[in-house]
Amino acid sequence: MQKEDIKKIEKEINYKFVNSELLVVALTHSSYANENDIKSYERLEFLGDSILNFAVSEFLFTHYKNLNEGRLSKIRAYIVNQDAVFNAVKDFEFVNHIKAVEGLEIGKPIISDVCEAIVGAVFLDSNNYDVAKNVVLELLKNSLKTDFNKKIITDYKSYLLEKCQASKQTVQFSHYKQSEQIEPCFKAELYINNKLVSTGYGRTKKRAEQMASKEAINKIENLN
């Protein structure tokens, strides 16, 4: 990995590594690590996952003093789930430098895992939780801008079905298995009144339906 690439990532997350090798490891998928007999990001991901969850918990506790424990837990789950993390970091420079075997799709699961691994790497490098927390807030800043005093949707399919049933519209899904993918992947097409509205992808049919429903909700709300 080139020094200039490391500098770009450091600038983006607002942290300069003492040991930049930790960042390289955080960007290395197990498939590439196994082929080249080097370390992968998995242990850093384990560490970073805990720090990310705690940092988000602290942020919510501090900024939403009027919300109870149950509501805060739901919001945290919404922020740290794989899709939300991916959407928050997908345009960051580090995404372009993830190392994996040729043919392996670097999609949501891997990108969200690498995000957590980078947090773990920062914590180890700095030996300082507050420094790692600031990187979490930088990585998730777009998600954390949301006003969580308002209702958030976590079950997109149920929400969509409820809305469509209330307006007497029919909802149907068609499923397809993406056999050309290295990792299992399903495609779900969502039809409202027999018209194709959206498409979603996921490791399971249910996940693909949720993603298709989320896209449909976004389209409908943008039209209103």
Catalytic residues: 49, 116
Distance, in Å, from the CA atom of 22 to the CA atom of 40, rounded to the nearest integer, reads 10
CA–CA gap between residue 100 and residue 97 (Å, rounded): 10
Q: Which H/E stretch holds residue 142?
A: helix 141-144
The residue among 111, 209, 207 whose CA lies nearest residue 160 is 209
**CA torsion through residues 89, 55, 156, 162, sign:** negative
Non-local (6+) Cβ contacts of 22 within 8 A are: 44, 121, 124, 125
- What is the rounded distance in angstroms from the CA atom of residue 175 to the CA atom of residue 8? 40
